[in-house]
Amino acid sequence: MYAKSRAHSDQAKQPAWPFSLALDFYKTMPVSKNRRKRSKPQKVKRQSKDLILTVALYGPDDSIATKMVGSVVNQATGKIEKLEKWFSEDGTDVRENNRVVEELAALITKSNPREVISPGQIIGCPHEEGLDYPEGEACPECPYWKGRDRFTGELLQ
């Protein structure tokens, strides 16, 4: 599941993210063979105006994502409607795990959000502050993220 550039095939492989899934939110009405009689229209769940889905990736460094979090947020209330977490059992990248990708696709299809938002890059340590290590401290298991900006990846001065 790697994206390859045709022009630069000798470049390092980059994970295909966001993954390429064809999600068909709106189904077309099938027409029966008898042109006079059309099939009954399928009921289609309309997209919610207020729901968005965020996808965040976490890892011990900026090259491998060992945790993915998908959350359905109601923008009108600011309430998280659903929160799903996926972890890599064997230290491989969760973006490469078909089960995780399928479950994320099912979450998107089921919640039918207006928008799916993801930074498309790993934005921090997979361990949770306050649960896995004390609040206000850096994670002892992920020294890469100590003193580093989560979105640019640059060290803070």
Residue 136 lies in a domain: no
Bigger pLDDT: 11 vs 140: 140
Could you report how far apart the first and last alpha carbons of the chain are, in Å? 37
What's the pLDDT tens digit per position in 140-150?
999 999 999 98
Q: In the chain, what percentage of residues exceed pLDDT 70?
A: 69
What pLDDT shows up at residue 18? 44
Does residue 147 fall inside a structural domain?
no
For residue 71, tell me if it sits in a domain: yes
Kindly give, in sequence order, each residue whose CB lies less than 8 Å from that of residue 94, ignoring residues fewer than 6 positions away. 57, 65, 66, 67, 68, 86, 87, 88, 100
Which residues touch 123 (CB under 8 Å, ≥6 apart)?
56, 57, 58, 150, 151
> In this structure, is residue 1 part of a structural domain?
no
9-14 average pLDDT score: 40
More confident residue, 44 or 128: 128
Residue 52 lies inside a defined structural domain of this protein: yes
pLDDT single digits (tens) 55-70: 999 999 999 999 999 9
User: What total of structural domains would you count in the chain?
Assistant: 1
Range of the domain at 94: 46-127
Q: For residue 89, is it within any domain?
A: yes
- Retrieve residue 114's tokens: 């207006």
The 10s digit of each residue's pLDDT in 29-84 is 333 344 444 445 555 555 668 999 999 999 999 999 999 999 999 999 999 999 99
Residue 97 lies in a domain: yes
Compute the average pLDDT of residues 112-136: 94
- The structure's pTM equals 0.70
Q: Which CATH number is 93's domain given?
A: 3.30.420.40
59: its two tokens: 């890892």
